[in-house]
Chains A and B, each alone.
Chain A
Amino acid sequence: MINLNQSNNSVSISSVRLKSLFWFNLGKNWYKFSRNKLSVLGLAIVVGIILSAIFALWITPYPEHAGPFVDFDNTGQPPSLQHFCGTDNMGRDIFSRIIFAFRGALIMAVVVLALAVPPGVFLGLVAGYFQNTWIDSVIMRITDIFISVPPLILALAIAAMLKPNLMNAMIAVTVMWWPWYTRLVYGMASSVRNEYFVVATDLMGASKFHIIFREILPNCLSPVFTKMALDVGWVILIGASLSFVGLGEQPPIPALGQMVSDGSRYMPNFWWMTIFPALAIVFAILGFNLMGDGIRDMFEKGAE
């Protein structure tokens, strides 16, 4: 009975501690984050992109151009006050299409990370807890196999075998993404597992479930969050690469890579059809990378 109570106590303490760590340190965290002005710039870019993607319908000058729209009188117009980034070969406003294309890119980043991180973290935890047993070997060797090819190649192959659309592109990237989290968490978990507080909980008779999720997991979270923040830019990059070869969102729905690829057929005379979507990709990735660096600084222990 005493043992049970003890472990219940430690449950409440560890979960309360986790929440309070974030909220009570908000000011300190913001200080750490904002110390690097570039991180703040990144955050501003990210917030701008997210808001413009959500409110695309209201802020873009020609929302109807982000779909099956043709205006042959206005094809290939250079950038002007009416069309900030010019028009494409169908006479559609490129600026409006870029803003709408951010939607697909953001959805992809969110869905891929939401689907890939939990199983990746779970497998890493399990392998780390059962280290040096057959469970560890099986999980980590499978992880090694998936990491043995650059993610883009296998994602391209999987996306190509399926029907080309955003959904399948997300599946393809997700399949390639979890092993990196497994490997990251495995390293953390297998060292935390041997710490005295875990051994003590084990001796008190806590269940495996409790040890893995209540004791080991909270200690592995900050590198996971950091990696997620840094990964958003990578997912957008891979998504753009997939849609560049036609394996993402299908026309007439705009996607950044697809717009670059379509526009490149009209180079060099209609340079704006390619350059502006390409710059939008760079801009988005840059924003997320800068923000990710700030989040890493925030979570990094000993960074004062």
Chain B
Amino acid sequence: MKLGSFLLKRLLFSIFVIFGLSIVIFVIARVVPGDPARMALGPRAPEEVVQRLRQEMYLDKTLPVQYFYWISGVFSGDFGRSLVTKRLVVEDIKEYLPATMELAIFAGILMAVFAVLLGALAARYKDKWVDNLIRAVSYFGVAIPAFVAAIFFMLLFGYRWPILPVLGRLSPGIASPVKITGLLTLDSLIQGNLVAFWDAFKHLILPSLALSLGGLFQEARITRSAMVDNMRKDFLSAERGYGVPEKVIMFKYLLKPSLIPTASVMGLDFASLFGNAFLVETIFNWPGISRYGISAMLNKDLSVISPVIIVFGIIFVVVNIIVDIIVAFLDPRVRLSTSRGI
């Protein structure tokens, strides 16, 4: 199958999934007990005000009609207003999303680099002390929830040995760079503002480390076992027999095929990283969309919860498409097969 038609198929499927997700979220939000209008205005608001809001939110219409109004708003980029802050949800998302993206991308880079590095090291020195150490640490790494890791890091490197900042994205005295991408490290680099870059970078380390930990060690284990499996394959003996240098064998013939399972799991982990970001951002006071989402959830702000979840759904399907492309690049069987559907 050509990459183009493969992508097109994936894209159509993703649109379907997001559309379905919007229905699921909408239905869940509407079937839970409680009147959203009443919840938004509080128990002491007069009945006629609540009634007016109900009409504004089309709550007096039937469920499919409500959904139609809501989804047509979503398609025109209008997510409505927050019931609590009365701000435009779209504006809020634009403001908070870059912070989360910066955190997630950085955590994703940490995850990918260290997972492959540790996995390859462990496989290279299989059953030696390096391998045993990495495997032992991995057991703990997988078992530590992101929010627990966040608290440990905060306690150790923020309070016990205060070497890294633990709150927010920038230190109070440092002016934020002019917004271009919204990613502070990138913006400050583009503008040559090294002071801001270094400060923003330091703020990134602990939250992204806490986020990446679980996935990192899981993938390290997968990389290791895939490499160990492949080491026994005949094609490696054949290459050794031909006199291919050990380094070339290691990187080109052993590491590359061993990364296929890692890449697939990494996609899932990268997505669940956004789930954990909900807690980690709250702990580190990181002004991202997850912290925004969780405060909306705790306030039962339904008109914010649904768009935020859809944004995460979109991120998830995009990540999945990228992972599929990476796997296709690593695995010629996928790239060349003609029968593989979505």
- A: residues with CB less than 8 A from B are 38, 141-142, 144-146, 148-154, 156-158, 160-162, 233, 237, 240-241, 244-246, 257, 260, 264, 267-268, 271, 274-275, 278, 281-282, 285-286, 289-290
Residue-wise interface mask of B (37-50) relative to A, using a CB-CB cutoff of 8 A (1 in contact, 0 not): 00000000000000
Task: State which of B18, B28, B143, B275 has its C-beta within 8 Å of the C-beta of A148.
Answer: B18
Known contacts A152-B276, A161-B29, A161-B34, then 15 further A-B pairs from the complex at CB < 8 Å, ordered by chain A residue: A38-B139, A142-B20, A144-B13, A148-B20, A150-B274, A153-B278, A157-B297, A245-B298, A260-B147, A267-B154, A282-B140, A282-B143, A285-B144, A285-B145, A286-B139
A237 to B145, CA, bound (A): 6
B20 vs chain A, min Cβ distance (A): 4
B98 on interface, CB distance cutoff 8 Å: no
Query: Are the C-beta atoms of A268 and B155 separated by less than 8 Å?
Result: yes
Instruction: Known A141-B20, A152-B272; judge A161-B305 contact (CB<8 A).
Output: yes
Selecting from B66-74, B119-127, B240-248, B311-319, the interface stretch reads B311-319
Q: Which residue on chain B has the smallest CB distance to residue A257?
A: B147
Q: Smallest CB–CB gap between B151 and chain A, Å?
A: 6
**How long is the Cα–Cα vector from A107 to B117 in the complex, in angstroms?**
39
| Cβ contact within 8 Å between B302 and A153 | no
User: Whole-angstrom distance between the alpha carbons of A156 and B25 in the complex?
Assistant: 12
Q: How far is the CB of A277 from chain B (nearest CB, A)?
A: 9
Given contacts A281-B148, A289-B143, contact A241 B279 (CB under 8 A): yes
Determine whether the beta carbon of A145 is less than 8 Å from that of B275.
no
Distance, CA A269 to CA B297, complexed state (A)? 31
The listed residue (B139, B274, B293) touching A289 by CB distance below 8 A is: B139
Partner of A160, one of B140, B155, B272, B297: B297
Q: Cβ of A246: which chain B residues have Cβ within 8 Å of it?
A: 298
What interface size band does chain B fall in?
Answer: 35 or more
Q: What residues on B are CB-neighbors of A241 within 8 Å?
A: 145, 147, 276, 279
Decide yes or no: A260 and B148 within 8 Å by CB, A145-B20, A282-B143 being known contacts: yes
- Using Cβ atoms and an 8 Å threshold, which residues of chain A touch B276? 152, 241
What 4 pairs between A and B have smallest CB-CB spacing?
A152-B275, A150-B275, A268-B159, A160-B297
In the bound assembly, the distance between CA atoms of A260 and B152 in angstroms comes to 11
> Bound complex: CA of A286 vs CA of B137, how far in Å?
11
Tell me the smallest distance from the CB of A191 to a CB of chain B, in Å. 15
Beta-carbon contacts of B224-247 to A below 8 Å, as 1s and 0s? 000000000000000000000000
Within 8 A of A (CB), among B263-285: 271-276, 278-279, 282-283
Complex interface: chain A residues within 8 A of B21 (CB): 145, 148-149
Q: A241-B145, A281-B145, A290-B139 are in contact. Are A150 and B20 (CB under 8 A)?
A: no
Cβ of B198 within 8 Å of any chain A Cβ, yes or no, is: no
Q: Contact check: which of A145, A157, A278 meets B151 at CB < 8 Å?
A: A278
If over half of A's interface residues share one DSSP class (helix, strand or loop), that class is named, otherwise mixed; here it is helix
User: How distant is the Cα of A264 from the Cα of B153 in the complex, in angstroms?
Assistant: 12
> Which residues of chain B have a CB within 8 Å of any CB of chain A?
13, 16-18, 20-21, 24-25, 28-29, 32-34, 139-140, 142-145, 147-148, 151-152, 154-155, 158-160, 271-276, 278-279, 282-283, 293-294, 297-298, 300, 302, 305, 309, 312-313, 316-317
Would you give 28 A-B contacts (Cβ < 8 Å), ordered by A? A148-B20, A148-B317, A149-B316, A150-B271, A150-B275, A150-B316, A151-B272, A151-B275, A153-B312, A156-B275, A157-B305, A160-B297, A160-B305, A161-B29, A161-B305, A240-B148, A245-B282, A245-B297, A260-B148, A267-B159, A268-B160, A278-B151, A282-B143, A282-B145, A285-B145, A286-B140, A286-B143, A289-B142
**Across the interface, which residues of A come within 8 angstroms of B282, CB to CB?**
245
For B142, what are the chain A residues with a Cβ–Cβ distance below 8 Å? 289
CA distance A65 to B151 in the complex (A): 25
B300→A153 contact, CB < 8 A:
no
**Cα distance A250–B302 when bound, in Å?**
22
A275-B155, A278-B148 known; A244+B279 contact, CB < 8 A: yes
**Distance in Å: Cβ of A240 to nearest Cβ of chain B:** 6
Q: B145 to chain A: closest CB distance in Å?
A: 5
Chain A: minimal CB distance from B104 (Å) = 11
Question: In the assembled complex, which residues on chain B have CB atoms less than 8 Å from the CB atom of A268?
Answer: 155, 158-160
In the bound complex, residues from chain B placing their C-beta under 8 Å from that of A271 are: 155
CB <8 Å contact, B298 and A160: yes
Is A264's CB under 8 angstroms from B151's CB?
yes
Q: Which residue on A lies nearest to B29, using beta carbons?
A: A161
* B148:A141 contact, CB within 8 angstroms: no
Chain B: which residue is nearest A261 at the CB level? B147
Minimum CB–CB distance from B268 to chain A (whole Å) comes to 9
CA distance A83 to B255 in the complex (A): 51
Residues of chain B within 8 A (CB-CB) of A146 are 24
Cα of A156 to Cα of B282 in the assembled complex, Å = 14
A155→B317 CA distance, assembly (Å):
19
Task: Report A173 CB to chain B, min CB distance, Å.
Answer: 12
Distance in angstroms from B282 CB to nearest chain A CB is 7
Contacts of A156 in B (CB 8 A): 275, 278, 294, 297
A157 touches B309 (CB 8 A): yes
Q: Are B312 and A149 neighbours in the complex by a CB distance under 8 Å?
A: yes
Cβ of B147 and Cβ of A244 under 8 Å apart? Answer: yes
Cross-chain contact A278 with B279 (CB below 8 angstroms): no
- Cβ-defined partner of A240 (8 Å) among B139, B145, B160: B145
Q: Which residue of A lies closest to B135 (CB)?
A: A38
User: Closest residue of chain B to A152, judged by CB?
Assistant: B275
Q: Are A267 and B155 in contact (CB under 8 A)?
A: yes
Give bound CA distance, A274 to B34, whole Å.
35
Give Cα A42–Cα B86 distance, bound, in whole angstroms: 51
Whether B155 lies near A282 (C-beta < 8 A) is: no
* Cβ contacts under 8 Å, B147 to chain A: 240-241, 244, 257, 260
